[in-house]
Amino acid sequence: MKWLILVLVLLFLLFIIICISKLTIYIIINNQKEHDYIKIKLSMWSGLIRYNVKLPNLQFDEESNQVVVKEERQAKAGEESTSASSKESETKISKEDAKKSIFNVKEIMQHVVHLQKIVRKFLKRIEITKLIWHSDIGVGDAASTGKMIGLGWSLKGFLVGLLSQFLSLKTDPDLLITPHFQSKTLQLRLECMLRFRIGYALLMGVRVLKYWKGGRPKLFGRPFRMFKKQDVNETA
């Protein structure tokens, strides 16, 4: 009996530790000539637990009318590299997949009362601790490039203002637009670091279940697994 109580206490303490722990999400979007990729890094407990996803490039398959996404994933537990596992996969996304995904989201929204309010409360708990957005813009002549620069600054200001309304902005954004008056170019590098306590995400899940109505939604395919992945290489 004592052992059972001890185990329950330890599990409760572990649950509390997980709830108050912060999950860090580091997003990098890079579109600069040959360096074209999207990186998403998730980490907990000062990097003790890490999970990385890299999308090197996007390709359009004209034969199948599908977008082909190559994905590289890596998970690590601890500081030792021997504990890391990596996996490469290829995802094909068609128009039908996109339509099914949109339909599923709408279907779920219809089954949760006050879903927007629940999501907004959670988003306000997300802290933006780093935001870098650098762009290179050029359209071939000085006059048109100047207009595009002005449009670019307006767009960045609008989007940053929108972010600050829904999320908690804890840093001054590093925004930069470099004009190229004599060449045509459009490049960007975006870095964004997000942090939130896992407990807030669990609380949002509890609220979704609490305000769920109407039984099970009619989803196309398996929820959140509509894309067919073809593993091309896996190492552990």
Q: Give me the tens of pLDDT residue by residue for the chain, a chain 236 residues long.
A: 788 888 899 999 999 999 999 999 999 998 876 677 889 999 998 878 888 888 776 666 666 666 666 666 777 666 554 455 667 676 767 677 777 778 878 877 888 888 889 999 999 999 999 999 999 999 888 888 999 999 999 999 999 999 999 999 999 999 999 999 888 888 899 999 999 999 999 999 999 888 888 766 666 554 444 333 444 343 33
Give the pLDDT score at 87.
Answer: 72
Please report the pLDDT score of residue 106 as a whole number: 81
3-state secondary structure of 14: helix
pLDDT of residue 65: 66
pLDDT of residue 236: 36
pLDDT at 35: 72
Q: How far is 206 from 10, CA to CA, in rounded Å?
A: 23
User: Are the C-beta atoms of residues 24 and 194 closer than 8 Å to each other?
Assistant: yes
pLDDT at 169: 93
- Give rounded-to-5 percent helix, strand, coil for the chain: 35, 40, 20
pLDDT for residue 54: 82
Contact 71, 54 (CB under 8 A): yes
Digit-coded pLDDT (tens) for 65-123: 666 666 667 776 665 544 556 676 767 676 777 777 788 788 778 888 888 899 999 99
Distance of alpha carbon 20 from the chain centroid: 21
Length of the chain: 236
Helix, coil or strand: residue 3: helix
